[in-house]
Amino acid sequence: MKIAVTRRIPDAGLEVLKAWGGAKDIAVHETDEGIERGALLRLVEGADAILSTVTEKMDAEAMHAAGPQLKIIANMAVGYDNISLADAAERKILVTNTPGVLTEATADLAWTLILGASRRAGEAERCLRAGQWKGWGPRQFLGVDLHKKALGLFGLGRIGRAVARRALGFEMSVLYHDVHRLSAEEEKALNARWAGKEELVSASDILSLHCPLTPETRHAFTLNEFSKMKKTAVIVNSARGPVIREADLCQALDEGMIFAAGLDVFEEEPVVNPRLFHHERAFLLPHIGSATMETRDTMARMAAQNITAALSGGTPANLIPLPL
């Protein structure tokens, strides 16, 4: 059986695959860079299983290139918007993800964005590294406080709740908008209450995005939302880039509609709107939400275990429901 691995993943995942079936049937794209489309289609040819990441589009073309024997696409991510579930369902291909294991690491990264953007850390570090710092000044790099402010969360799944837990240490109140409401007990534990999107936008001092990318959430934040935010507000995105219309965010920053933005994901990854690079109030990171050694090892291991379960005739632990 052939197993195609579309990126160079941590050894922890490869070791699971090798222990199950040996190394000879594992085909790995052996670079840290993304695989080009043509190379991807050649890599997956004849594969019984594909271990993919969020950077590879798994659509009808890729599934057809693999062939009718393809049994499973195991995404090494919690999100799976790179996979066409309809095409997988049509071909009876299992699809899995790696939920839960990256919750804490991604929540930590969201707080990195919150702190970095609100305290202008990127701007200050660039000044220091460039040799431009002339010493302490009373009006230098003034940011905004977080203590006892209002944290808004657009999406309150596992990661959103983990971000809310961390807010308790800052004595922040939490507003959240999600299709599912917490119980009264859960809301009390997080010092949180549900709010409509309009209230969330206008009342939040920090607005952190934690929703999946769906047709409904694509471009959920545009000039319409930015114009209603506080001028001292900070927006951060560690979910999916297209939730924000980047051109509108650039305009909002240019015109002072909001104080700052922190981004770990981008609308057209790996391309970043060049206007963001020139805006000092944009705190930017290259999609490292789950990038800790422990988390990535666990993600790779889980994706590999999903594959071995499927190829052994069992049911993988992290099946994604497919459309009927």
Q: Is residue 287 among the annotated active site residues?
A: yes
- All residues at 6 or more sequence positions from 237 whose CB lies less than 8 Å from its CB, including other chains: 113, 208, 209, 243, 244, 261, 262, 263, 264, 265
Cα–Cα distances (Å) from 315 to 49, 67, 227, 254, in that order, read 14, 21, 48, 51
Q: Kindly give, in sequence order, each residue whose CB lies less than 8 Å from that of residue 181, ignoring residues fewer than 6 positions away.
A: 194
Could you say which of 15, 61, 187, 269 is catalytic? 269
Q: Is 198 a catalytic residue?
A: no
Q: Quick one: CA dihedral 110, 204, 120, 280, positive or negative? A: positive
In sequence order, what are the residues at sequence separation of 6 or more whose Cβ sits closer than 8 angstroms to the Cβ of residue 308?
Answer: 16, 17, 20, 21
- One of 165, 166, 193, 287 is an active-site residue; which one? 287
Q: H helices of 9-149, where? A: 11-21, 37-44, 60-66, 85-90, 103-118, 121-129
Q: Is 240 tagged catalytic?
A: yes
Catalytic residue chosen out of the listed positions 119, 240, 296, 301 = 240
Burial 37-64 (b: 16+ CB within 10 A, else e): eeebeebbeebbbbbbbbbbebeeebbe
User: What are the catalytic residues?
Assistant: 240, 269, 287
